[in-house]
Structure 1
Amino acid sequence: MTLDSTAQLPRLPLLADRKVAMVHEWFGATGGSEAVFLAIADLLPHAERLVLWADEGVPTEQLRLSQSWMSRTPLKQSKALALPAMPLVWRTLTNRKFDVVISSSHAFAHTVKLGDPAHTRHLSYIHSPARYVWSPDFDGRGSHPALKVPRKMLQAADLRLSRHVHAYAANSREVQGRIKRFWNRDSVVVNPPVDTAYFGNAPQADQYQSRDYLLGIGRWIPYKNFDLIVEIADAAGLPLVIAGSGPEEERLRKLAATKQVHIHFEVRPERDRLRQLYWGARALLFPAHEDFGIIPVEAQACGTPVLGLRRGGLLETVVDGETGFLLDGLDPAPYAAALHRLGELSRYRIQQHAGGFSADRFADRIARWIDHAAR
């Protein structure tokens, strides 16, 4: 199907005459997949919203989230331990039947079955097939040799319990390829929404910063390669700001203390502060293999170029040589050298490109997909 057609947009709210359920994995206080779920829910205000559990601090009543029985067990404290039980929980979630089910899945939400497939249309938006099951090289939770047999069992269950899904949407071409490779299913690509309007319209004082430091943002976990970000800044002789949080904090602080350049840590910055950091940075360093990557788009909405790994979602979100530079491998030297070429880039062009991933564009494309696939 063509999502960018000039055909008339479907009427809102979508599927108003049908009984609709929206399903998501666990619901964290912040996160890209949660933002996608809520953006879709805005188009379907009458839909019931079902999740395995919600983390502490999530306003479940305000968001109208119904939690499964797993939320009343200790399993909610450990996603790794909960993982093998998830397919079963989804199958016992409710005895109610729906006309349309829309799942937002990065683990097993797409295996939920809330009606006879002959009468219930199941559409699934995939953030990624479960990395710890299908791509253990990405996620250490599934890479231990002792998990090889359980992983095979979960793969078989994933395939068997998702046959009833009628249509898939992938958040990137990277994920579209995994859906085909692992599940042998076709999908359309609908990139997730990024609040480019918010990040692009900062106060004047933020916009006129000196842009004298490099920036790394994200969860401080191994595959994000924050240690490489530190090495790049040191090789370039430029100060660095590292924003986020995670289990690697102590190790990264010790590494930073061995470097000559000034490295400042911002732990869990608020949204306004995050925007300020984007606008003040000379470049965002993002040498990680991501499914899509919302952070690089937020940076570009602020006119900040991205230096990243030539893999995964960055191949879609960064135009090499126009909105940043994509490099091969994990050697800091080429990244440091590319920083000398930032003057070749137009900040106006960088912001213009980021606009293609706006929340409005997502709403348009996902509405067309739902309207078509739910028939």
Structure 2
Amino acid sequence: MPFLPALWSHGLRTVGEYDWAIVSSHLFAHQARVTGVAPDRQFTYVHTPARYLWNPELDARGSTMLARAGSPVLRSVDRRRAQGLRHVAANSRFVQQRIRDTWGIDAQVINPPVGVERLAAVADWASVLDERDRAVLEALPADFVLGASRFVPYKRLDVVIDAGRASGRPVVLAGDGPDAERLRALAAESRVEVHFVCTPSDAMLAALLQRAAVYVFPPVEDFGILPVEALALGTPVVANAEGGARDSVQEGTSGTLLHDLADSTLAAAVDGAVRLDPAACRARAAAFSTERFQREIAEWTGIPVGGQTG
């Protein structure tokens, strides 16, 4: 970690000569300086400032003794170099505020592209599943609450189990990862029916999102692609009120927002979400299309997508 700032600030000097650059930044990539590119021709698209430096409560890597010892110096370097940027965009309003709080600069918001067109092109994703996946899908209960992500603690899939129990609905958890054993133990102890669909294919995940009564998204994320994919398939979303999912999940239109995790809150959120209009969910998802992203990037940089510099 101590060498990353030097790597990004000097490591791109051998890539060649260019007229302009877009830097897609996670952690320290915003510190990159591309040879021959004037500062006003470099555009930095920020997914998040380094969470383990600035928000260690959201990233356990920042809680180690070594990280705590080195963070003050690295934060100072990170902030100073970010303040030299001329054009900065954030992938959500949540990240925009984080940039303002950590680096002391303003950024415009350009939400990421989501493949809503691909999802909307298939009327019934169950119809394109192979025989094995179709059998798994048809064996699941109706009107289930869905959680889908990597099985890691910060994704808070335990909250999805709680949401199913609180609302009296069965739960499906789709994904895989190191937290699988703990989640299975929680499911066995809960008073709700829980089914696991491990390592689903893209088509299977789309079918699950389409078949679910509601998709529950509890983590604090920078943006959240899966909530938009659920909306594109007409499925309402219950999301954490803190985080980037607030850009796509509109209370009472495309979903509901969780301000706490009490059983009564979870039950009300699920019950409210399932009554929402699928057409309104799909309409909301359309605002995050790839075409929209390309248009906004072109407007931001002044360079048409696929165009040439002068």
Normalising by structure 2, we get a TM-score of 0.86
Q: Please give the alpha-carbon distance, in whole angstroms, between the structure 1 residues aligned to 2:250 and 2:215.
A: 14
- Contact 1:215–1:285 (CA under 8 A) maintained in structure 2: yes
Aligned identity (percent) is: 38
1:334 is paired with a residue whose SS is helix
Q: Please give the alpha-carbon distance, in whole angstroms, between the structure 1 residues aligned to 2:38 and 2:191.
A: 65
Pick the structure with more helix per residue. 2
Q: Please give the alpha-carbon distance, in whole angstroms, between the structure 2 residues aligned to 1:154 and 1:317.
A: 33
- Contact 1:239–1:261 (CA under 8 A) maintained in structure 2: yes
Q: How do residues 287-306 of structure 1 correspond to structure 2 at under 5 angstroms?
A: 287-306=218-237
Q: Please give the alpha-carbon distance, in whole angstroms, between the structure 2 residues aligned to 1:194 and 1:206.
A: 21
Corresponding residue for 1:94? Answer: 13
- Contact 1:215–1:240 (CA under 8 A) maintained in structure 2: yes
> Aligned pair 1:349/2:280, yes or no?
yes
Q: Which amino acid aligns with 2:233?
A: C
Corresponding residue for 1:77? Answer: none
1:219 is paired with a residue whose SS is coil
Q: Which amino acid aligns with 1:87?
A: P
- Contact 1:211–1:279 (CA under 8 A) maintained in structure 2: no
Q: 1:211 to 1:150 in 2, by over 3 A?
A: same
Q: Structure 2: 5+ residue runs without aligned partners?
A: 128-137
> Aligned pair 1:170/2:73, yes or no?
no
Q: Write the deviation string for residues 201-238 of structure 1: whole angstroms up to 9, x where unpaired.
A: 3343639x985211001122222211111122122232
1:133 is paired with a residue whose SS is helix
Corresponding residue for 2:208? Answer: 277
Q: Please give the alpha-carbon distance, in whole angstroms, between the structure 1 residues aligned to 2:40 and 2:276.
A: 50
1:343 is displaced (CA, Å) by 5.2
Q: Please give the alpha-carbon distance, in whole angstroms, between the structure 2 residues aligned to 1:323 and 1:118.
A: 42
Match of residue 296, structure 2, among 349, 355, 365: 365
Q: Please give the alpha-carbon distance, in whole angstroms, between the structure 2 residues aligned to 1:119 and 1:93.
A: 15
Corresponding residue for 1:308? Answer: 239
Q: How do residues 233-244 of structure 1 correspond to structure 2 at under 5 angstroms?
A: 233-244=164-175
1:358 is displaced (CA, Å) by 0.8
Q: How do residues 181-330 of structure 1 correspond to structure 2 at under 5 angstroms?
A: 181-204=101-124, 206=126, 211-330=142-261
Deviates more, 1:111-120 or 1:147-156: 111-120
2:102 is paired with a residue whose SS is helix
Q: Please give the alpha-carbon distance, in whole angstroms, between the structure 1 residues aligned to 2:260 and 2:183.
A: 20
Q: 1:195 to 1:117 in 2, by over 3 A?
A: closer
State the Cα RMSD in Å: 2.3
Deviates more, 1:253-262 or 1:181-190: 253-262
> Aligned pair 1:113/2:33, yes or no?
yes
- Contact 1:285–1:306 (CA under 8 A) maintained in structure 2: yes
Q: Please give the alpha-carbon distance, in whole angstroms, between the structure 1 residues aligned to 2:160 and 2:241.
A: 15
1:100 is displaced (CA, Å) by 1.3
Q: Structure 1: 5+ residue runs without aligned partners?
A: 1-82
1:125 is displaced (CA, Å) by 0.2
Q: Which amino acid aligns with 1:85?
A: F
Q: Please give the alpha-carbon distance, in whole angstroms, between the structure 2 residues aligned to 1:256 and 1:119.
A: 53
Q: Please give the alpha-carbon distance, in whole angstroms, between the structure 1 residues aligned to 2:206 and 2:222.
A: 23
1:193 is displaced (CA, Å) by 0.5
2:48 is paired with a residue whose SS is coil
2:56 is paired with a residue whose SS is coil
Normalising by structure 1, we get a TM-score of 0.72
Q: 1:224 to 1:360 in 2, by over 3 A?
A: same
Q: Please give the alpha-carbon distance, in whole angstroms, between the structure 2 residues aligned to 1:155 and 1:117.
A: 25
> Aligned pair 1:133/2:53, yes or no?
yes
Deviates more, 1:314-323 or 1:162-171: 162-171
2:3 is paired with a residue whose SS is helix
Q: Please give the alpha-carbon distance, in whole angstroms, between the structure 2 residues aligned to 1:205 and 1:219.
A: 22
Corresponding residue for 1:16? Answer: none
Q: Please give the alpha-carbon distance, in whole angstroms, between the structure 2 residues aligned to 1:183 and 1:111.
A: 12
Q: Which amino acid aligns with 1:88?
A: A
- Contact 1:321–1:345 (CA under 8 A) maintained in structure 2: yes
Q: Please give the alpha-carbon distance, in whole angstroms, between the structure 1 residues aligned to 2:126 and 2:263.
A: 29
Q: 1:292 to 1:179 in 2, by over 3 A?
A: same
1:113 is displaced (CA, Å) by 1.5
Q: 1:288 to 1:87 in 2, by over 3 A?
A: same
